[in-house]
Chains A and B, each alone.
Chain A
Amino acid sequence: EVQLLESGGGLVQPGGSLRLSCAASRFTFSNYAMTWVRQAPGKGLEWVSSISHSGGRIYYADSVKGRFTISRDTSKNTLYLQMHSLRAEDTAVYYCARDSDIDGYFDYWGQGTLVTVSS
C-alpha cells in the first residue's frame, strides 16, 4: 500500500523558517504529482501547493506565495515544503497527498505533521 510519511513539523517563532519532508514509498514517485494541504486547529482543509510529476509545474495558494517553496527529490522519493516568514495563521497540521492518476484528486494522504507558529 502507498505510504506517505511527513516530518519536520514543530514549534517555530513568528518570522521563522521550517522545512517539511514527505517520504513516499510503495509507488513510483516520479509518476505522480504531489500536493500539500493544511488544516488549522478546528478548521477545514486548505490547499497549499502542488508540484507536477516532473517538477516542471508548481502552484501555490495566494496565502503562501512568496514565502513557501515546494520541491521534490526523485532520487530520495521525497517531497518538501520549505516555509519562510512564518505567521501565526500558518499554524496547522500539514498533510502531503498524492495526486491520483487524474491530477487534482488526492488519493493517498500522509498522517500529517503539526506546525505551530508562536512566540
Chain B
Amino acid sequence: DIQMTQSPSSVSASVGDRVTMTCRASQGISSWLAWYQQKPGKAPKLLIYAASSLQSGVPSRFSGSGSGTHFTLTISSLQPEDFATYYCQQANTFPRTFGQGTKVEIK
C-alpha cells in the first residue's frame, strides 16, 4: 500500500497569512493526488485534484503543486473560513490512501 505522510500535523496562522503544507507518498504516484478540506462535523470537500487542478467553485487562493512523491497545498491569504483540517489522498492505485491530516488553527 502507498503511505501518505502529511506535515506539519498542525499549523497556527493568522488571517491573511500564507500557509503551506506538505504531503509525501511512499512511492511515486505521478500527479494522482487530491486535497480535501474538512470542517468539524462536516463531510470533506474536494479542493484540488490531479495535484494542481482547482476543483470548480474553489477559491483561487488555494493551489497545489508537485508530482512523484512530494506535493504541497498552499493557501495564499488565509481567510476565516479556511480554518479546518486538510487531507491529501492518492488516486494512483488501490487501496486509496489518505494522509493523516494537517489542522490549520487560529493563531
Using CB atoms and an 8 Å cutoff, list the residues of chain A in contact with chain B.
35, 37, 44-47, 50, 59-62, 95, 100, 102-107, 109-112
Contact = CB atoms under 8 A, between A and B. Distances in A.
A105 B87 contact: no
Given A45-B87, A104-B32, A62 B95 contact: yes
B41 to A, nearest CB: 9
B50 interface: yes
Given A44-B101, A100-B49, A107-B55, A50 B94 contact: yes
B96 to A, nearest CB: 4
B87 A111 contact: no
Given A47-B95, A59-B94, A62-B1, 7 more contacts: A44-B98, A45-B36, A45-B44, A45-B101, A95-B44, A104-B96, A105-B49
B21 to A, nearest CB: 14
Contacts of A44: 87, 98-101
Contacts, number: 61
Q: Helix, strand, loop or mixed for chain B's interface?
A: loop
Contacts of B78: none
A42 to B, nearest CB: 10
Contacts of A95: 43-44
A25 to B, nearest CB: 16
**B50, B95, B96, most chain A CB atoms within 10 A:** B96
Given A45-B87, A105-B34, A59 B46 contact: no
A109 B41 CA distance: 13
B89 interface: yes
Contacts of A110: 43
A102 B50 contact: yes
B51 to A, nearest CB: 11
Contacts of B1: 62
Interface string B85-107: 00101011011111111000000
A6 to B, nearest CB: 10
